[in-house]
Chains A and B, each alone.
Chain A
Amino acid sequence: MTTKIFKYLAILIVTIYIADRVIYFCIDKMQAKTLTGESGGKINAYLNLKKTVALLIMGPSSSTYQIDPTAFKVDTYNIGHSNTEDAFQAGLLSIIIENNKKPKNIMLHILPDSYLSTDTTSTVINDGILKLKFFYNKNKLVTYYINELGIKERIKFSMHLSRYNNRVINTLKNYITTKRNGPVLNGFEPLPVEERDSIVATINYNDSKLKNTNNKANEIIHMAKMKYLKDFVNLCSANNIKLILFTLPSYIQVKNGVKDDLATQNINTFSKENNITYFDFRKGSLGGLINRAIYWKDGYHLNAMGAVIESNFVSSEVSSFLAN
Chain B
Amino acid sequence: MLFNSLEFLLFFVIVTISFFSLPHKYRWFLLLTASCFFYMFFVPIYILILAGTIVIDYFAGIFIEKADNKKKRFYLILSLITNIGVLVIFKYYNFFIDNINNAQEIISFSYLKILLPIGLSFHTFQAMSYTIEVYRGNQKAEHHFGIYALYVMFYPQLVAGPIERPQNILHQFYEIQKPSYNNFVIGLSQMIRGFFKKVVVADLLAGYVDNIFNNYQTNTGFTLIFAAWMFMIQIYCDFSGYSDIAIGAARIMGFKLMVNFKLPLFSKTLSEFWTRWHISLSSWLRDYLFYPIAVNKRDWGKWALVYATLITFMISGLWHGAGWNFILFGLLHGIILSGEILLGIKTSFFTKSFIKRITGVFITFNILAFIQILFRAKDIYQAIAIWKSIFTLKYFFNLKINDTGIFASMLFCVAVLFSIEYFVFRNHSIESIEKKRPNWLFALNLIFIILILLFGVSNGEQFIYFQF
Tell me the A residues contacting B by CB distance below 8 Å: 1-2, 4-5, 8, 11-12, 15-16, 19-20, 23, 37, 39, 127, 152, 155-156, 159, 161-162, 164-171, 173, 196, 199-200, 203-204, 207, 298
Q: Which residues of A contact B185 (CB under 8 A)?
A: 8
Known: A2-B179, A5-B181, A8-B181. A207 touches B217 (CB 8 A): yes
Known: A12-B442, A161-B453, A169-B412. A4 touches B218 (CB 8 A): no
A-B contact pairs, 5 of them (CB 8 A): A159-B453, A166-B204, A169-B408, A196-B395, A207-B217
Contact of B217 among A12, A15, A203 (CB under 8 A): A203
Known: A155-B6, A166-B457, A203-B218. A5 touches B442 (CB 8 A): no
User: Is B364 in contact with chain A by the CB < 8 A criterion?
Assistant: no
- Interface pair B181/A173, CB less than 8 Å apart: no
Across the A-B interface, the 9 shortest Cβ-Cβ residue pairs: A170-B405, A161-B453, A169-B408, A4-B181, A169-B409, A5-B184, A200-B218, A169-B405, A203-B218
Q: Which residues of B contact A207 (CB under 8 A)?
A: 217
User: Is B449 in contact with chain A by the CB < 8 A criterion?
Assistant: yes
Q: How far is the CA of A200 from the CA of B400 in the complex (A)?
A: 13
Chain A nearest CB from B118 CB (Å) reads 22
Q: Which residues of A contact B457 (CB under 8 A)?
A: 166
Report which residue of B6, B184, B412, B459 has the largest number of chain A beta carbons within 10 angstroms of its beta carbon: B184
Contact of B178 among A1, A161, A204 (CB under 8 A): A1
- Interface pair A173/B178, CB less than 8 Å apart: no
Q: How big is chain B's contact interface, by range? A: 20 to 34
Report which residue of A11, A20, A23, A161 has the largest number of chain B beta carbons within 10 angstroms of its beta carbon: A161
Chain B nearest CB from A267 CB (Å) reads 29
- Interface pair B450/A164, CB less than 8 Å apart: no
Chain B nearest CB from A165 CB (Å) reads 6
- Interface pair B405/A165, CB less than 8 Å apart: no
Q: How far is the CA of A171 from the CA of B406 in the complex (A)?
A: 11
Q: How far is the CA of A297 from the CA of B82 in the complex (A)?
A: 56
Task: Kindly identify, within residues 417 to 468 of chain B, every residue whose CB is under 8 Å from any CB belonging to chain A.
Answer: 442, 445-446, 449-450, 453-459
Task: Kindly identify, within residues 182 to 197 of chain B, every residue whose CB is under 8 Å from any CB belonging to chain A.
Answer: 184-185
Known: A159-B453, A165-B453, A165-B454. A1 touches B405 (CB 8 A): no
Q: Which residues of B contact A16 (CB under 8 A)?
A: 446, 449-450
Q: How far is the CA of A2 from the CA of B180 in the complex (A)?
A: 8
Interface string of B106-131 (1 = CB under 8 A from A): 00000000000000000000000000
Q: How far is the CA of A173 from the CA of B412 in the complex (A)?
A: 13
Known: A12-B442, A155-B6, A165-B455. A170 touches B179 (CB 8 A): no
Known: A165-B455, A196-B395. A170 touches B217 (CB 8 A): no
Known contacts A23-B454, A166-B454, A207-B217; can you find 9 more A-B pairs with CB under 8 A? A1-B178, A16-B446, A152-B458, A159-B453, A161-B453, A161-B454, A165-B454, A166-B409, A170-B405
- Interface pair A152/B181, CB less than 8 Å apart: no
- Interface pair A23/B450, CB less than 8 Å apart: yes
- Interface pair A20/B6, CB less than 8 Å apart: no
Residue of B nearest to A152 (CB): B6
Q: Which residues of A contact B69 (CB under 8 A)?
A: none
Chain B nearest CB from A55 CB (Å) reads 28
- Interface pair B179/A156, CB less than 8 Å apart: no
User: Is B348 in contact with chain A by the CB < 8 A criterion?
Assistant: no
Contact of A204 among B181, B218, B458 (CB under 8 A): B218
- Interface pair B446/A15, CB less than 8 Å apart: yes
Q: Which residues of A contact B180 (CB under 8 A)?
A: 1
Q: How far is the CA of A23 from the CA of B446 in the complex (A)?
A: 13
- Interface pair A164/B218, CB less than 8 Å apart: no
Residue of A nearest to B449 (CB): A16
Chain A nearest CB from B242 CB (Å) reads 21
Interface string of B161-184 (1 = CB under 8 A from A): 000000000000000001111001
Chain A nearest CB from B110 CB (Å) reads 23
- Interface pair B450/A19, CB less than 8 Å apart: yes
User: Is B404 in contact with chain A by the CB < 8 A criterion?
Assistant: yes
Q: How far is the CA of A245 from the CA of B180 in the complex (A)?
A: 64
Contact of B445 among A4, A12, A39, A171 (CB under 8 A): A12
Known: A1-B181, A8-B184. A166 touches B6 (CB 8 A): no
- Interface pair A20/B453, CB less than 8 Å apart: yes
Residue of B nearest to A168 (CB): B454
Chain A nearest CB from B199 CB (Å) reads 11
Q: Which residues of A contact B6 (CB under 8 A)?
A: 152, 155
Q: Which residues of A contact B453 (CB under 8 A)?
A: 20, 159, 161-162, 165
Residue of A nearest to B403 (CB): A170
Q: Which residues of A contact B395 (CB under 8 A)?
A: 196
Interface string of B136-175 (1 = CB under 8 A from A): 0000000000000000000000000000000000000000
- Interface pair A173/B218, CB less than 8 Å apart: no
Contact of B405 among A11, A167, A298 (CB under 8 A): A167
Q: Which residues of B contact A173 (CB under 8 A)?
A: 404-405, 408
Q: How far is the CA of A16 from the CA of B404 in the complex (A)?
A: 28
Q: Which residues of B contact A170 (CB under 8 A)?
A: 403-406, 408
Contact of A164 among B184, B406, B454 (CB under 8 A): B454
- Interface pair A166/B405, CB less than 8 Å apart: yes
Q: Which residues of A contact B403 (CB under 8 A)?
A: 170
Chain B nearest CB from A19 CB (Å) reads 6
Report which residue of A1, A11, A199 has the largest number of chain B beta carbons within 10 angstroms of its beta carbon: A1
Q: How far is the CA of A169 from the CA of B217 in the complex (A)?
A: 30
Q: Which residues of A contact B179 (CB under 8 A)?
A: 1-2, 5
Q: Which residues of B contact A19 (CB under 8 A)?
A: 446, 450
Q: Which residues of A contact B442 (CB under 8 A)?
A: 11-12
